[in-house]
Structure 1
Amino acid sequence: MALIGTALSTLVLAACTSNPGAPVQETERKGPTGVVPDGLSAFYGQALTWEDCADYAKTDNDKEQLGKDGLRCAHLTVPLDYGKPDGDTITIGVLRKPATEPDRRIGSLVVNPGGPGAAGLSAAARLSGVGELNKRFDFVGFDPRGVGSSEPTVRCLTDQERDAERAEDDELDTSPAGVARQDAEQEEFAAKCAERTGKGAAMLANVGTRDVARDIDVLRSALGDEKLTYLGYSYGTRIGTVYAESFPRNVRAMVLDGALDPEQDAVGELVAQGEGFQKAFTDFVAWCVQRQDCSLGRDAKQAQTNFQQLIRPLGTRPVELADGRKLSYGDATTGVIQALYSEQLWEPLNTGLNEVKQNKGRILMLLADSYEERGKDGHYSTTQDAFTAVRCVDDPRVTDPNVILEAQRRYKAAAPFLDDGNPPTASLDACAYWPVPNTGEPHLPRVEGIPPILVVSTTGDPATPYEAGVNLARALGGGLLTYEATQHTAFLQGVACVDDAGSAYLTDLVLPEEGKRCSG
């Protein structure tokens, strides 16, 4: 590996165009900077051509966020397979909001919102307007390989196929024939992913977190930063952990919020998440029963039974909606799960459950559509496809029927409010049929040489339970900031105690005092 000194930076305006209304492009070369792995100098030293972000918007939310002033976007070129740097290449969509006080600029703050498979451009655009960090840092977002504006995109189902899948509730048929049909559908799904994704199985083999972390290091260098300053939420904490293990001496600072436990296998993670959502449901019930209009009654002990009696019938009698769609059992539970991510959604959740009593389902369907990233025009983002593709290579596949049955039993016990009333089955998921092997697995990260990092963990986080953050902070030898609330992630979400501590750390590299706790 070669160490490159401080790189010269060049900035060139694009040649005049015959279209005077076209946005000006700026080509900028700031790399290579820092340590460059052998054979990758051309990638680490590439120029970035910054332009208007309109063509990078893929969803309604993208169009809203990427239309803000001061944003510029570019494509970063990286190897499809880092083991073959002279082979095929792919591109990564990148957004930058420059520091508003350039004389005091520290560097770039690279943001990832999680998923896996969530697009990062919109997240960085939105977060750049929160707090004071954009004064000192360029806010940089990226769409991970295979996602959003990055090319090629992981794609498995059409919009019509996704709608049909959501409406079917096939998982409720636990007969041998039903299980066989589910397995066949999962096998077909995996085949469609390989067929419809650009560069096919080769892309699926290199779409995991191992490769995203390598892309971030190329981005770090191309941005001209010798060290990486990173903010990762939810699954973005796994990306940050893998980066820290792969490039420990390239880290300046990291805030990892809503952590995944690095040693937890897929079954353990599923069960822990079930426990988290059960706790969030219990907190919702405690809030709800204080209201005259509580959809689940006024008795907290009876509320879970009332919920199941309200939702389970949708498996055979879905609610007809005005647009011709149907609120299935699966969509109803997805809508509920979406609302349990934040206390701010409890009010619409209660209203939505009251609607179901009236044989209506508009609000729960809106919540489910938000989770599934279905736009008003019926078009889906590819987040759910990418989610599956990444998880199928980040963890070993689970095919042992006994392990699957035990996992389902444990999940039903951990999250009884989501128990559909059917016995567990040994049905397989798409990863069992994935056309390429996994490239990652749970393990204790080895991060010798990493500077102190900050983990933020929320006591009532339903998706990434609190103890996962405790374990990640311990594994990385970092600091832990505890937020006492029921929601998923906390930093830069308007909680002054959390925002101030995290911002001070990113700016001054000083961890909050040991044991620091914040409350809303």
Structure 2
Amino acid sequence: MPRDPDHRKGVRKLNRWALPLAAALLLGACTSADDEAPARSLDDYYGQKISFGNCEEFATTASDAGYLTAAEAECGWLEVPLDYSEPEGATGRIAVSRVPARGEKPIGSMVLNPGGPGARGVSFAALLSQAWAQSPVTENFDLVGFDPRGTGATTPAVDCFTDAERDSDALPGAILGLGTADPVTLADRCAASVGGKDVLGHIGTRDTARDMDVLRAVLGDEKLTYTGASYGTRLGPVYAEMFPDRVRAMVLDGAVDPRQPSTQAYRTQQLAGFQRAFDKLATACAEQDSCPLGTDPAQATAQFNDLVQPLAQNPVPASGGRSLGFVAAVDSMVSTLYDKAQWPQAIAGLTQLRKGKGDVLLELRDNLHGRQEDGSYVDFLEATYAISCADDEHFTPEENSAALQAYSDAAPFMAPPSPIAAAVPDDCAGWPEHDPVGHPYAVGIEGLPNTLTVSVTGDAASPHEYGISLAETLGGDLLTVHGDLHVATIAGNECVDDAVATYLVDLKGPGPGAECWL
């Protein structure tokens, strides 16, 4: 389940990449080329300069504005072709932020991606600069974040739902085929929001990797230094596959497995990871008095199903005239499985739900979806949907139905209240032709320098097996981190921080068998 980058709960609330079960949308109004303007070449984009200045118009939430101000970040626009095969055509503007290095002789820039896909990177650079305030990393590198195609301040950015529709969980697929949005109609709405289906087909990871290479050059770096979290561990290896001779260093934290044979296989294994995390939460809960999941962890999934499945037909009330339904309840539970520290919130929410109220769980769901205090939503989950449809293979209704059943079997705590239909339209039905990432990817890259994969043993969203596979695929170092958390590089752990800093600054990996404990 993707997590929103609003960061209202502090530094550890990172954007998460997971399967788009509660999927969403994409880009927004595109810029047309002037008929009288001279034709542009790719060299023109690579040779541009970013005019860095005030970040006021780059913050899409009040929280983002606070992080950018606190970090004394500077912001600017990077112009890119929407279709790299037609550089003389329509263009987009990538929102970029930079927090200058603290040292007098920086090595260069470090480009960041916080996950999603579709999480806002402009604010992430500012946030990470605070988490690493005394690190050799911030002394030696300008931290550079950007909002990828389709999200945040970048234009065009996707906007396919009204806020009222978001409140009603009108998302494609949402939870195991229970979404209320027709995917074909939705594809048309997404396309209209960005200027047409020809634009919608260029929102994926491969085009973002091309944008990142333009950004690298414009920043003045001969080779890319990169840190990616969660989905960022897909973007980084795709970049390495496309531009292997332009990589200096890559930290990849909370891995996406590049060797999975298909999107469906990846999501099934990932959902099994969420089920394992749910079982751990249930075991911890059973040790407490009045656990809302009961005293027998083996029965916790059934207890949870009995508690939340009736919400599909009979939502419970919450404050402000709102209500908590089945999709929102499951979303809220998933949101707490990324970090063991959030388990008490899940237990408190389920305890309240047993009393017929949904306020605690609805707040967790709102944090996940990026709902703001004024009732508006950030476009994170919408961008997640669009980027995923651009990246992944598409399925027939019968294939999709079989996949949904596999997902339900892998994570029975998320099982829908009704049987899955024999033919469920794929979330991406009606999507334009695209440039998929493909499976597997980033395999056998020649000349790639050493990379560093950071993997937490109890990571629900990115099982440790993914980290092992990614490190082996890239032929790089693996840092195994023992704990229950998704993404370790901003956890404030001295062992992890030292290993990451030594690698990024001195290009010295931790070597075989490296371990840390949270």
TM-score normalised per structure 1: 0.87
Task: Look up the equivalent residue of 2:366 and give its one-letter code.
Answer: D
Q: CA deviation at 1:419?
A: 1.4
- Partner of residue 442 from structure 1, selected from 425, 439, 454: 439
Q: CA deviation at 1:166?
A: 4.8
Q: Is the 8 A contact 2:169 2:328 kept in 1?
A: no
Is the aligned partner of 1:390 residue 2:382?
no
Is the aligned partner of 1:228 residue 2:224?
yes
Q: In the superposition, relative to structure 1, how do residues 168 and 219 fare at CA in structure 2: closer, same or farther (>3 Å)?
A: closer
1:459, 1:500 → 2: CA distance? Answer: 19
| SS in structure 2 at match of 1:78 | strand
2:234, 2:172 → 1: CA distance? Answer: 33
Which deviations, in whole Å up to 9, do the C-alpha atoms of 1:267-298 show, x marking residues without a partner? 11110111110011011112211222422122
RMSD value, Cα: 2.0
Structure 1 residue aligned with 2:22: none
Structure 2 residue aligned with 1:432: 429
> What 5-or-longer segments of structure 1 have no aligned partner?
1-37
- Partner of residue 414 from structure 2, selected from 391, 412, 418: 418
Is the aligned partner of 1:161 residue 2:162?
no
1:234, 1:335 → 2: CA distance? Answer: 19
1:54-73 equivalences in 2 (<5 Å) = 54-73=56-75
| SS in structure 1 at match of 2:269 | helix
Q: Is the 8 A contact 2:400 2:426 kept in 1?
A: no
Structure 1 residue aligned with 2:501: 503
Q: Bigger CA drift: 318-327 or 406-415?
A: 406-415
Task: Look up the equivalent residue of 1:123 and give its one-letter code.
Answer: F
Q: In the superposition, relative to structure 1, how do residues 447 and 290 fare at CA in structure 2: closer, same or farther (>3 Å)?
A: same
The percent identity for this pair of structures is 43
Q: Is the 8 A contact 1:167 1:331 kept in 2?
A: no
Q: Is the 8 A contact 1:257 1:491 kept in 2?
A: yes
Structure 2 residue aligned with 1:92: 94
Q: CA deviation at 1:190?
A: 1.2
Task: Look up the equivalent residue of 1:424 and give its one-letter code.
Answer: I
Is the aligned partner of 1:137 residue 2:141?
yes
Which deviations, in whole Å up to 9, do the C-alpha atoms of 1:167-218 show, x marking residues without a partner? 999979x9xxxx9x95x72222111101122x22122111110011111111
2:122, 2:98 → 1: CA distance? Answer: 8
Which deviations, in whole Å up to 9, do the C-alpha atoms of 1:480-513 show, x marking residues without a partner? 1111222211112112221211111111101112
| SS in structure 1 at match of 2:93 | strand
Structure 1 residue aligned with 2:129: 128
Q: In the superposition, relative to structure 1, how do residues 245 and 171 fare at CA in structure 2: closer, same or farther (>3 Å)?
A: closer
1:170, 1:153 → 2: CA distance? Answer: 21
| SS in structure 1 at match of 2:267 | helix
1:276-291 equivalences in 2 (<5 Å) = 276-291=273-288
| SS in structure 2 at match of 1:122 | helix
Structure 1 residue aligned with 2:20: none
Q: CA deviation at 1:365?
A: 0.6
2:230, 2:361 → 1: CA distance? Answer: 24
1:506, 1:294 → 2: CA distance? Answer: 45
Q: In the superposition, relative to structure 1, how do residues 167 and 259 fare at CA in structure 2: closer, same or farther (>3 Å)?
A: closer
2:271, 2:500 → 1: CA distance? Answer: 28
Which deviations, in whole Å up to 9, do the C-alpha atoms of 1:304-337 show, x marking residues without a partner? 2221211112111101112111100000000000
Q: Is the 8 A contact 2:310 2:417 kept in 1?
A: no
2:357, 2:122 → 1: CA distance? Answer: 35
Is the aligned partner of 1:305 residue 2:309?
no
1:113, 1:168 → 2: CA distance? Answer: 24
Structure 1 residue aligned with 2:33: none
2:307, 2:166 → 1: CA distance? Answer: 25
Q: Is the 8 A contact 1:169 1:315 kept in 2?
A: no
1:45, 1:444 → 2: CA distance? Answer: 30
Which deviations, in whole Å up to 9, do the C-alpha atoms of 1:435-479 show, x marking residues without a partner? 333433112424211100011111121112111111111111111
Is the aligned partner of 1:458 residue 2:459?
no
1:169, 1:219 → 2: CA distance? Answer: 34
Q: Bigger CA drift: 426-435 or 131-140?
A: 426-435
1:273-422 equivalences in 2 (<5 Å) = 273-401=270-398, 403-422=399-418
Q: In the superposition, relative to structure 1, how do residues 279 and 171 fare at CA in structure 2: closer, same or farther (>3 Å)?
A: closer
1:296, 1:439 → 2: CA distance? Answer: 41
Which deviations, in whole Å up to 9, do the C-alpha atoms of 1:364-414 show, x marking residues without a partner? 11111111111111111111111111111111111150x223322221221
Kindly report structure 1 stretches of 4+ aligned residues shifted beyond 6 Å: 167-172
Is the aligned partner of 1:116 residue 2:104?
no
Q: Is the 8 A contact 2:114 2:124 kept in 1?
A: yes
Q: CA deviation at 1:151?
A: 0.9
| SS in structure 2 at match of 1:50 | coil
Is the aligned partner of 1:190 residue 2:194?
no
| SS in structure 2 at match of 1:442 | coil
Q: Is the 8 A contact 2:202 2:434 kept in 1?
A: no
1:368, 1:267 → 2: CA distance? Answer: 25
1:207, 1:167 → 2: CA distance? Answer: 19
2:98, 2:413 → 1: CA distance? Answer: 43
Task: Look up the equivalent residue of 1:470 and give its one-letter code.
Answer: I
2:459, 2:184 → 1: CA distance? Answer: 33
Task: Look up the equivalent residue of 2:83 and give its one-letter code.
Answer: D
Q: In the superposition, relative to structure 1, how do residues 478 and 106 fare at CA in structure 2: closer, same or farther (>3 Å)?
A: same
Structure 2 residue aligned with 1:45: 47
Q: Is the 8 A contact 1:167 1:327 kept in 2?
A: no
- Partner of residue 247 from structure 2, selected from 239, 242, 251: 251
Q: CA deviation at 1:263?
A: 2.8
> What 5-or-longer segments of structure 2 have no aligned partner?
1-39
| SS in structure 2 at match of 1:63 | helix
Q: Is the 8 A contact 2:238 2:437 kept in 1?
A: no
Q: Is the 8 A contact 1:194 1:435 kept in 2?
A: no
Task: Look up the equivalent residue of 1:100 and give its one-letter code.
Answer: R
1:302, 1:223 → 2: CA distance? Answer: 55
Task: Look up the equivalent residue of 1:202 and give its one-letter code.
Answer: D
2:174, 2:445 → 1: CA distance? Answer: 44
1:284, 1:476 → 2: CA distance? Answer: 33
| SS in structure 1 at match of 2:156 | coil
Q: CA deviation at 1:122?
A: 1.1
Task: Look up the equivalent residue of 2:120 and give its one-letter code.
Answer: A
Q: In the superposition, relative to structure 1, how do residues 49 and 324 fare at CA in structure 2: closer, same or farther (>3 Å)?
A: same
1:194, 1:319 → 2: CA distance? Answer: 35
1:461-500 equivalences in 2 (<5 Å) = 461-500=459-498
Q: Is the 8 A contact 1:258 1:469 kept in 2?
A: yes
Q: Bigger CA drift: 155-164 or 116-125?
A: 155-164
| SS in structure 1 at match of 2:357 | coil
